[in-house]
Structure 1
């Protein structure tokens, strides 16, 4: 078997299919747990119903909204991403931080609700439907509830499936090292197979029903990424890579100890699904909030183009988007209509003679990219991300530059980290370094920072 063999994916179980659609049993447990915690705290402070100030229905509404806020915060904070059963996950620290964030937002909502209550429900005073003192107790205890729920899920899964079924994969010396450690510290797992040929792993996993793969030899990573790791991920098989002492000194985040050896989790995609969903919501929010501005600017630029460049106003080009899929991208036409009649697809250069002189300012200010806001609304692009390239250029870059396909893990952006550091003529490999940094370090704050710096680049006309 080779890594290029046709795939035959097994039919996933019901729970697996639900997981892939985003459902997690632990979501339901967290909802029940947080709601129960709120009720226990209120009863301990104020006794049995009825409680003062508000009706039972008003309290119920407040508790339901507060529980939803906690769940949404937990989701976008990554608490519901699929976690490996092997190695510690540090879930308590993450849950505590997210509970604090959710509690702060609930406090703001309660202030708003109390204002509405004074106006519409004819309730006087400063009473809140969820008292701050009770909310503080919920925040302090929510982390424990989250950890308890994950413990329940772990016990249920272990009873149903048994211990994690592990395949050890690596060279002979690495396999012997793993055997020695498992013999002493391997009570949390069951080794079902050993593989010393990197091309056999998928067959072995299918045959043994393994749930986890411990990749012991780092040299195999180039052979497995991204195709083999993606195939294992679609089978809900976790892949952990052993790292040595030197790598641990580099400050690798989220090291996991399995049988006394340090590992890091390998994922086919850098950004988790919760991060991608949050990024999409952020895109829609930014585009809709700024709509009055960009609609006016778009109309003004269109009128300018009609006068100085004539028709067609827009230039349509096939570009490579998320997942390597192509789409038809539109921008204001700034080049002559016969710009590529002779040379074919070419990268733009400084002082490009194909550019219409009266349209150079559009390229220097990047106003020619404004029609791509419509692609953002359609979900084909993002406000921030790697810039989309043409398929013929992308094919060449993928052959010449290792890791170039990684930039297709997220929708292409109107602007990006590479754009604020580079220019139209900047080398593709140089830009890729910034694109990969963006993927690894993504956060909403980073997106906002890039947007602000893009405005500065445009004003300075440094392209």
Structure 2
């Protein structure tokens, strides 16, 4: 088998398969070696600031054991903040976005949390009349210094990792893809820049042959010069390239900037934006799952009482079966059995076909209309949130029969399946049961692109308003 010119692996072998087996498996599970470098940097800075201010240990007020525990917990908080802030997501080797500003924001957030935790534990200890309850003896002046220096250290670590990766794997191998006019533009720019940082291994002017070309040349990156190809590439081509470990960068023109793109990357004097097969990074999906579990535990007394009360009401007015089971499409297009309180007649779909509900639907039991108006019929889905099949906030889960039709008729409909479906969502607080599917999709995709914990809390608050307003 032919080898690469730089002495790397065989031609056609993706870069990620040339890693050591253990490191490759850990990477696929979200672990990065740079996590250890960041943790070591934060811990070293923490100890160094204490030595600079107080000299060699023992330090005043607390034992070395208390300080060691405090610094260990603080370091963990910093690394967790970096993880959930997206610092450990896979970044392209070409046109990497600046890290310092991003790391500074996350470092400030982590340091602020440490300070608040320190203040809370100190107050708790003072109430008990003892200093033993203070678990984070971290002088505030030292903490401020660590916040500033940690951001710098994280940025330096990224530079070290990038240099080591280039030394191990060689420079990025790039394929330039696009129509002939766009390829000519790329050639002109590439002639004017120092190309020591990457190697162009091929050009592709056929949208459907880029995967074969990337495999043949062992490309690590693809520069997509023609934006119109996206319609043909999404989602299959982009997904296949991502599974091969190949990064895709789209050249940005004036048309794309009208969509409010941010975090542009520069390659050979041209602006690009990173294309990803999934809208929401894995770190955000994990953070969203933790937020779901936290809110479930916090509100358990409320939703347990609501479930019990509505169940008794349904037994009286609707009888058995109490629950309505229906197959719905969940995350990744996988189906699951969704549970709802039954609000329609037992023979609501006796003709055998899946039907969307309509305003004033005659199949709805009159005494149950308020359940649909307030979304209380959705309460049993909380059990699916516990198991992870659903989320508190997300796109509404649809039936497979309806989803199949929507996917054929509506471009981009499958993207709403990137996260678990939600008990409520942006489309639900703006729309209603009978709202058009394409209209709802716009809200679903807007939610995925702009997700944050604050957005979830805002949607939950607005859902409560919708329930109280009894909209239908």
- TM-score over 0.5 for the pair: yes
1:125: Cα distance to partner? 13
1:56: Cα distance to partner? 1.0
Distance 1:58 1:120, change over 3 A: farther
Aligned to 1:394: 403
Aligned equivalents of 1:227, 1:123: Cα separation in 2: 60
Aligned equivalents of 2:316, 2:24: Cα separation in 1: 58
- The number of aligned residues is 456
The TM-score normalised by the length of structure 1 is 0.95
Alignment of 1:408-427 (within 5 A): 408-427=417-436
Aligned to 2:242: 233
Q: 1:457 pairs with 443, 447, 466, which one? A: 466
Q: SS where residue 293 of structure 2 aligns? A: helix
Aligned to 2:49: 41
Q: 1:138 pairs with 146, 151, 154, which one? A: 146
1:53/1:127 contact within 8 Å kept: no
Aligned to 2:115: 107
- In structure 2, stretches of 5+ residues that fail to align are 1-11
Q: 2:339 pairs with 309, 317, 330, which one? A: 330
Q: SS where residue 231 of structure 2 aligns? A: helix
1:118/1:124 contact within 8 Å kept: no
Alignment of 1:9-88 (within 5 A): 12=17, 13=19, 14=21, 15-88=23-96
Aligned to 1:169: 177
Aligned equivalents of 1:353, 1:96: Cα separation in 2: 58
Aligned equivalents of 1:37, 1:344: Cα separation in 2: 65
Distance 1:362 1:169, change over 3 A: same
Alignment of 1:211-250 (within 5 A): 211-248=220-257, 250=259
Aligned equivalents of 2:126, 2:311: Cα separation in 1: 50
Q: 2:312 pairs with 294, 303, 307, which one? A: 303
- In structure 1, stretches of 5+ residues that fail to align are 1-7
1:236: Cα distance to partner? 1.5
1:157: Cα distance to partner? 0.3
- How big is each residue's C-alpha offset from its partner over 1:102-122, in whole Å with a ceiling of 9 and x where there is no partner? 001111222244346657895
User: Which portions of structure 1, spanning 4 or more consecutive aligned residues, are displaced by more than 6 angstroms?
Assistant: 8-11, 124-128
Aligned to 1:283: 292
Aligned to 1:193: 202
Aligned to 1:129: 137
1:370: Cα distance to partner? 0.3
1:176: Cα distance to partner? 1.5
2:124/2:133 contact within 8 Å kept: no
- How big is each residue's C-alpha offset from its partner over 1:219-271, in whole Å with a ceiling of 9 and x where there is no partner? 11111111111111111111000011343355311110001000000000000
Aligned equivalents of 2:94, 2:54: Cα separation in 1: 43
Aligned to 1:3: none
